[in-house]
Chain A
Amino acid sequence: MTRTLSFRDALNEAIVQEMDRDPNVFVFGLDVPDHKRIFGSTKGLVERFGKERCFGTPLSEEAMTGMALGAAISGLRPIHVHIRVDFLLLAMNQLLNMVSNFRYLSGGTLEVPLVIRAIIGRGWGQGAQHSKSLQSVFAHVPGLKVVMPTTPNDAKGLLISAIRDDNPVVFLEHRWLYDVSGEVTCGEDGIPLSKTNVLRRGKDATVVATSWMNVEALKAAEILSREGVEVEVVDPRTIAPLDDGPIIESCARTGHCVVADYDWSFCGFGAELAARIMEKCWGKLRSPVSRVGFAHVPCPTTRCLESEFYPNAVTIIRVIEKKLGLKEMDLSGESFYTWESRFRGPF
């Protein structure tokens, strides 16, 4: 059945469905059951499943992550929620020293079915400590799966799979995507992790984008298409373990690739993609792989600098024009940031 759902409702549906299905699933974290319900994504849970399966915690990110690990190896399936990925940094000790390697060090006898949801990205003047993404930091460490849904359909389908996965999954949700609506077609079984998805077909250039950058890439593709340039937009959806097959196939076919990762470029996931594409498409590339990402500075608050900090559809268009030797289009009549102009604070 196809329905239109917002990203937040899609997340909520996935959690409700899995909590209904499996009594071992529980959701916890700072502010999870308060009246704001993590931007609405945990609404209705405490009413439906009770405080035993949906509860708030003290501000103790490390201990709560360790508790989640202890519960996971004891057969429960925790979903630990962080309203900002920046706060998850306090649990990096657990995540990188414990959660990621517990199974391996046990000789494969333990399973760690643990989902860590964290909200990432730009909001509304969020500044340097409420806006990070950090997917490459998590993906750098063996033993963690890292998922970044873009569409409501993926939000639901991938979260279902993350909850059913017997491994630790870091699930990164962009704040702006929460209000995006889209068709949700995925069934009860969800959408498998580690399956790269082509969001738009095109023959002239490939944009590999993560999270919100897919929204920007689709906008760029739409504008360029009016000029006769067909851009393929490829969304890995799962950063680790990465399904690079469709990415390589696309880049080899178009010969031009832009990697638009929603993060700092330096030492980032975009660099990993660029390296793989170079290794595997060598000889078929007609221009060097280009990277688009955040400016390499802490995120500033004031809007004018914030807008410089983040790349967008225009950035992607300009890079593609250069690669293809086109002259710069006049974009003055285009409306960008349509979503951003709708986003109001305070958070």
Chain B
Amino acid sequence: MSDRDLALYRKMQLIRRAEEKIQERYSENEMKTPVHLCIGQEAVVVGVLDALSPEDQVLGTYRSHGIYLARTNDPRSFFAEIYGRSSAHARGRAGSMHLASPAHGFLGTSAVVGTTIPLALGAAFANQRRKNGRTAAAIFGDGAIDEGVFWESLNYACLARLPVLFVCEDNGLAIHSPAEERHGYDSIEAIVERFRCHVARSDSTDPAVLSDLTREAISKQRETGQPAFLHFRCYRYVEHVGIAEDFDAGYRTRASFEEWKKRDPIQLVRRRLLEGGVERKTVDQIDQEIERELESAIALAKKAPFPPASDLEKDVFA
């Protein structure tokens, strides 16, 4: 139990601290890319990815620092990309909003809401053809379920019985617009359940709980051939894009934040580790390692060269 918690803690802390470093340094104006932070939401991505095997494919959105770090465990290439350096996987072309690492099964992201959902169908179709038993997961926000392409994709995945996991990471907001102002229905689960699809929902901020639900969904999917839809709620601690808090803006209250903060996913797992007998030293050591890794990743990224001008026209075509 504590081994699993240690791993979950490490991943979440890596993501949290990486994004806090972005917050600390953003004003230096060297990371010239809009950032959509997932601070507060880490349990969803970490929980879901914990349940997937490394061969399963994942697709994300512009808010996917978490997927990148959880899948690659490589803050060096992460910061190189954020700083736009040629040492990064995409040599600076991707920035924060188009992160991917196909070598790690992280096939892609997109800054246009909903657009990566059908790609998971394509990956799942290939899996089905190859009978390789892999699952393809699309992780998207609650705004994406407003888009037609979500419903088109859900419909087809259910029809063709594709091994797809639809993961709605519901922070209750599309930019500043709450679900109540966007939905002509009350419960997304009630609707998706009418499709030939497994549905699970949770408000938990415990990645272990979300991982178990995901595992369960995958095994049901394997048994029945039907895709699964996971609706996981969470809370975004900072503004939609950028690094600051924005509780003064009027669209949400600090009180709602304080409520969720009591269940902060990282603190929750940390507490459980300590209560379960893991020494504080052990947990602190993880923190220190992450600290060192991130600082060295940032230092390296800042020293790395920018791509040469000759890179501009490369790779449009294979």
A contact set with B: CB distance below 8 Å = 52, 57-58, 60, 62-76, 78, 93-94, 97-98, 102-112, 142-143, 145, 165-167, 241
Contacts and interface: CB of A to CB of B under 8 A. Distances in A.
A60 B116 CA distance: 15
A107 B94 contact: yes
Contacts of B100: 105-106, 110
Task: Name the residue among A67, A94, A97 with the largest chain B CB count within 10 angstroms.
Answer: A67
Contacts of B108: 73, 102, 105-106, 110
Contacts of A111: 318
Given A105-B93, A106-B315, 6 more contacts: A58-B156, A67-B119, A73-B122, A98-B115, A102-B108, A111-B318
Contacts of A70: 59, 107, 118-126, 136
Interface of B: 57, 59, 88-91, 93-94, 98, 100, 102-103, 107-108, 110, 112, 115-127, 129, 136, 148-149, 152-153, 155-156, 159, 314-318
Contacts of A109: 89-90, 102-103
Given A58-B159, A63-B149, A66-B153, A104 B316 contact: yes
A79 B126 CA distance: 14
A71 B123 contact: yes
Contacts of B93: 104-105, 107
B62 to A, nearest CB: 12
B90 A106 contact: yes
Contacts, number: 144
Contacts of B103: 109
Contacts of B152: 58, 60, 62-64
Contacts of A112: 318
Contacts of B119: 66-67, 69-70, 73, 98
Contacts of A108: 314-315, 318
B306 to A, nearest CB: 14
9 contacts: A62-B118, A63-B149, A66-B121, A70-B120, A71-B122, A94-B115, A107-B91, A109-B90, A143-B317
B132 to A, nearest CB: 10
A112 B315 CA distance: 12
B118 A63 contact: yes
Contact of B122 (A57, A69, A110, A166): A69
